[in-house]
């Protein structure tokens, strides 16, 4: 029976006959083949008796070739591995011309690998990152299912703009000859859905409708934003996890966010040990190449353990503004955006200052000014702030955004009017406030930002298989 590399490496049944398939990573001294099949970061060493192997076959054992091997599992005397396979027969399943195959056994730049995103999964770094991504995804479903949440599939095509930011990709079947209204605008009544539609920017509003029947739900789906941000933390297509809870206020919401993040990171620490050990070494080496003041004073594993073991610091927006106004980089005009007064929107430089320099731990900021946040957030008694919360992480900035929702019909209607949103568009959302309304809250976690933090990768494009960013949708 065929076995995976991880099964063979963990096996202690020596002298058993084994069969394995995988890809050649390296072939040295015409004798030692390192085979990897993606089941683990580690390769298995297969030893060929080259004197008794056809020279034509030996020539075809090149980096990237797919091979099928039969042999005996033996204890290895060599350094770096406990078992190896003594090859009895080897078949080349698919050749890989060394003159052409881009992924050679040497260090490739992340930029080069992005251009070869269809092959980059065959490197140690990307296979480690993507295995961790898969484990984290499983942990997300496990956490919510174990805590009484139901997974809810929000629609991907929608007529609503949940965040009100207008950064949406249009969905239409109308072409260049689209029918026009009398005023020259496109007549979407004649479009496929009979109205203007777009790819979802958030499943929240629909999740709220289900929370008002199932009490605790969560979405985990693709999310699209046409914001022209060419940063290391933004994608045009990303995956978001959005829990929504009836009968839960902002404090309860913060408790769940913190507990959830700690759970999934702890799950990765326990279930991705080899991959994290590899990425930890990589992280430490990368940090050494940075200028001293930008260097992280913790290794990747230390950072992950720190998050799991410490309380997140909860700070109001108003307190944060006071800290920022009086801090050195603000006084010395080192920030790109200087904080002068209450009401200013926080940029990632401010968020990172609070987390990395001031509090030196993850921070949950809450009670933001109403006018820099979305329409659906619950207005506080002061009439100036809303029950919003953002979770801020070192190196990442905002990893979670959420709020307690406005459950009072009259207040919500006022908000909608003030923001010139068409009430008719949100009739079903307003219905929730008419029939059995209740305090409820939720948040959104950007899955790629979580994967970025857990793997220590500095660019978000390197934690999703095929990144979509401005001017880039190859593959």
CB neighbours (10 Å) of residue 51? 7
What does 202 interact with, of Mg ion, ligand 4AD, none (CB < 5 to 8 A by kind)?
Answer: ligand 4AD
Q: Is 275 in the site for ligand 4AD (CB under 6 A)?
A: no
Q: Is 440 in the site for ligand 4AD (CB under 6 A)?
A: no
- 26-85: which residues touch ligand 4AD (CB under 6 A)? none
Give the interface segment with Mg ion, choosing from 277-285, 365-373, 398-406, 412-420 (CB under 5 A): 398-406
Measured from the CB of residue 385, what is the shortest distance to ligand 4AD in angstroms? 17
Residues 342-381, mask of contacts with Mg ion (x by CB under 5 A): ----------------------------------------
Q: Which residue from 367, 449, 451, 467 is in contact with ligand 4AD, where contact means CB under 6 A?
A: 449
Measured from the CB of residue 138, what is the shortest distance to ligand 4AD in angstroms? 20
- 345-384: which residues touch ligand 4AD (CB under 6 A)? none
What does 162 interact with, of Mg ion, ligand 4AD, none (CB < 5 to 8 A by kind)?
Answer: ligand 4AD
Q: Which residue from 25, 234, 352, 415 is in contact with ligand 4AD, where contact means CB under 6 A?
A: 234
In angstroms, the Cα distances linking 458 to 133, 286, 365 are 15, 10, 24
Q: Is 202 in the site for ligand 4AD (CB under 6 A)?
A: yes
- Residues in contact with 289: Cβ distance below 8 Å, sequence separation at least 6, in sequence order: none
For the chain, give me the number of helices (H) and strands (E)? 14, 16
- Residues in contact with 435: Cβ distance below 8 Å, sequence separation at least 6, in sequence order: none
Q: Which residue from 203, 401, 442, 446 is in contact with Mg ion, where contact means CB under 5 A?
A: 401
d(CA 59, CA 415): 72
Measured from the CB of residue 401, what is the shortest distance to Mg ion in angstroms? 3
Q: Is 446 in the site for Mg ion (CB under 5 A)?
A: no
Residues 389-418, mask of contacts with ligand 4AD (x by CB under 6 A): ---------xxxxxx---------------
Q: Is 402 in the site for Mg ion (CB under 5 A)?
A: no
Give 49-115 as a 3 state SS string.
CHHHCCHHHHHHCCCCCEEEEEEEEEECCCCCCCEEEEEEEEEEEECCCCCCCCCCCCCCCHHHHHH
- Residues in contact with 357: Cβ distance below 8 Å, sequence separation at least 6, in sequence order: 327
User: Nearer Cβ to ligand 4AD, position 3 or 403?
Assistant: 403
d(CA 255, CA 420): 34
d(CA 303, CA 360): 11
Q: Is 144 in the site for ligand 4AD (CB under 6 A)?
A: no
Q: Is 432 in the site for ligand 4AD (CB under 6 A)?
A: no
Question: Where do runs of H (alpha helix) occur along 196-342?
Answer: 204-214, 250-271, 273-288, 300-309, 317-326, 328-331
In angstroms, the Cα distances linking 177 to 155, 187, 191, 192 are 28, 11, 12, 14
Contact call for residues 215 and 439 (beta carbons, < 8 A): no
CB neighbours (10 Å) of residue 46? 25
Residue numbers of the site for ligand 4AD (CB under 6 A)?
Answer: 162-163, 202, 204, 225, 227, 234-235, 238, 240, 242, 398-403, 442-444, 446, 448-449
Residue numbers of the site for Mg ion (CB under 5 A)?
Answer: 401
């Amino acid at each position: 029976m065929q076995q995976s590399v991880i099964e063979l490496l963990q096996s202690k049944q020596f002298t058993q006959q084994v069969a394995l398939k995988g890809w050649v990573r390296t072939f040295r001294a015409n004798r030692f083949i390192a085979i990897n099949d993606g089941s683990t970061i580690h390769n298995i060493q297969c030893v060929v008796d080259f004197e008794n192997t056809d020279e034509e076959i030996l020539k075809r054992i090149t980096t990237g070739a797919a091979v099928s091997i039969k042999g005996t599992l033996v204890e290895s005397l060599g350094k770096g591995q406990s078992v190896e396979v003594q090859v009895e027969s080897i078949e080349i399943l698919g050749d890989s011309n060394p003159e052409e195959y881009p992924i050679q056994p040497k260090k490739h730049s992340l930029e080069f690998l992005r251009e070869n995103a269809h092959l980059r999964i065959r490197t140690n770094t990307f296979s480690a990152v993507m295995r961790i991504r898969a484990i984290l995804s499983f942990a997300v479903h496990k956490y919510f299912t174990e805590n009484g949440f139901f997974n809810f599939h929000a629609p991907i095509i929608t007529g609503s703009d949940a965040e009100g930011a207008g950064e949406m990709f249009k969905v239409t079947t109308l072409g260049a000859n689209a029918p026009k209204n009398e005023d020259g605008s496109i007549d979407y009544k004649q479009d496929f859905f009979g109205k203007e539609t777009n790819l979802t920017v958030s499943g929240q509003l629909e999740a709220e409708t289900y929370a008002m029947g199932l009490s605790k739900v969560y979405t985990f789906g693709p999310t699209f934003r046409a914001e022209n941000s060419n940063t290391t933390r933004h994608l045009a297509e990303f995956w978001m996890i959005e829990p929504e809870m009836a009968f839960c206020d902002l404090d309860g919401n913060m408790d769940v966010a913190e507990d959830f993040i700690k759970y999934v990171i702890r799950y990765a620490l326990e279930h991705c040990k080899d991959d994290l050990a590899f990425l930890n070494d990589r992280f430490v080496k990368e940090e050494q190449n940075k200028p001293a003041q930008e260097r992280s004073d913790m290794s990747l594993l230390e950072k992950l353990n720190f998050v799991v073991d410490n309380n997140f610091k909860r700070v109001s927006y108003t307190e944060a503004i006071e800290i920022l106004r009086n801090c050195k980089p603000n006084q010395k005009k080192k920030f790109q955006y200087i904080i002068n007064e209450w009401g200013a929107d926080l940029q990632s430089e401010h968020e990172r200052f609070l987390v990395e320099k001031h509090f030196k731990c993850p921070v949950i900021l809450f009670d933001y000014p109403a006018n820099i946040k979305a329409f659906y957030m619950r207005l506080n008694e002061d009439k100036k702030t809303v029950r919003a919360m953002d979770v801020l992480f070192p190196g990442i900035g905002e990893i979670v955004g959420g709020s307690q929702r406005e459950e009072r019909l009259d207040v919500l209607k006022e908000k909608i009017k003030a923001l010139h949103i068409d009430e008719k568009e949100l009739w079903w959302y307003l219905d929730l406030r008419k029939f059995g309304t209740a305090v409820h809250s939720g948040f959104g976690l950007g899955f790629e930002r979580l994967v970025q933090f857990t793997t220590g990768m500095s660019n978000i494009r390197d934690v999703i298989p095929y990144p979509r960013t401005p001017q880039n949708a190859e593959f």
